[in-house]
Amino acid sequence: MATEFVPQKQDRARDAQFKTALHGKNSTSKTGFVAAISKNADAQKAAVAEYFKHWDNKRPSTETEDDKKTRLEEYASLTKHYYNLVTDFYEYGWGTSFHFSRFYKGEAFRQSIARHEHYLALKMGLTAGMKVLDVGCGVGGPAQEICRFTDCNITGLNNNDYQVERANHYAKSLGLADKLNFVKGDFMQMDFEPETFDAVYAIEATVHAPVLDGVYGEIYKVLKPGGTFGVYEWVMTDKYDESIPLHREVCYGIEIGDGIPKMYKTEVAEQALKNVGFEIVHQEDLAARHDDIPWYYPLSPEFKYCRSIADLATIFRTSWLGRQVTMKVVGLLEKLHIAPAGSQKVTEALEEAAVNLVLGAKLGLFTPMMLFIAKKPL
């Protein structure tokens, strides 16, 4: 039986106004690091306050049940403000596809990211002309790649106005506007008509849902009978035990640094899919293949795996050393009133996430690529 949950009330006019206040009327004129330090100071202060109110002066040993409940109830604003704060840092460090991937020897970073997206499309059986929904689409990097790979038509859903605007801007600039469309919306309460899409996918996005039954149920509703849902899910593995302080610290570090109301275990995601009516036809933790090059190498100082000058630049920015440099530079710019107040605090949260993502992986507690392929029965 699916878990009941009341979605957070939406105020789209207010969200649009806040996006303009934070980034200006032309929010696509800057990108990456420059965009990150160019935000309106007052709007940045408000976003920092709204996000970090869920985490300030709280740790796993001191947080209350009310703290946990509030994060779940305010999932939409928590996630929205998280991406108001980090999107530009993500693009600066990672590119336009905000996800991890497996690596083969000799494979460049961008090639690996694209192959991870192609693999999902292949397992789902996406083909030309299909009408596909990307749930939690970011700034559209995966949709661009999957569209080119399969020639399908993709609608991207996102609750962050800034990312929606950037995604549509990139689609237009790449000549893909006739195949890609990105819209504002909450994946816990979708506006699409039932049975609209031939297929639906989500890449490391539904982890932001307060209750997995809720987002999976909405996906099930908008999917046509016989349609396919494919997801790379962030989950804690069967080894995770919340009663062990170290385990909970790792999980909490991932939650605070990645805008996640609550992390769930693999078994919860599997059961949630079944609860809403899906038939799981394939499931595998791709991180458990024990590749020679670990998926988390961009977050660690493993420069030996780089295969190009571009890789060196990317991996330096995402590595521990690069992150320390970014934090120090951002902190200095903040003191000089060049970067808005709160910018360094954001980079510190991202650092906590990176450290715990790597530690969680090494301890076998966490995976960002639990692959589920599920069918909606005819």
| DSSP line for 88-107 | HHHHHHT-S------B-TT-
Q: Which helix (H) or strand (E) holds 375?
A: strand 366-375
DSSP 3-state of 55 = coil
Mean pLDDT of the chain: 94
**C-beta atoms surrounding 59 within 10 Å:** 12
Collapsing DSSP to helix, strand or coil, 232 comes out as strand
CA distances from 186 to 10, 12, 88, 125 (A): 8, 10, 21, 26
| DSSP letter, residue 187 | T
The lowest-confidence range among 63-67, 147-151, 179-183, 260-264 is 63-67
> Are the C-beta atoms of residues 261 and 255 closer than 8 Å to each other?
yes
Distance CA 136, CA 186 (A): 9
Query: How far is Cα 206 from Cα 374, in angstroms, rounded to an integer?
Result: 15
**Triad 155, 159, 162: Cα angle to 5°:** 90
Give the pLDDT band (50/70/90) at residue 26. Answer: confident
243 contacts: CB under 8 Å, gap ≥ 6 = none
What is residue 218's predicted lDDT score, i.e. its pLDDT? 98
pLDDT digit string, tens, across residues 129-162: 999 999 999 999 999 999 999 999 999 999 999 9
317 closest CA partner among 17, 56, 33: 33
- pTM of this structure: 0.94
Mean pLDDT of 152-175: 97
Q: Residue 68's pLDDT band (boundaries 50, 70, 90)? A: very high
Share of the chain above pLDDT 70, in %: 98
Quote the pLDDT of residue 300: 81
**What is residue 2's predicted lDDT score, i.e. its pLDDT?**
47
Flag whether pLDDT at 367 surpasses 80: yes
- Give just the sign of the alpha carbon dihedral 176, 22, 317, 260: negative
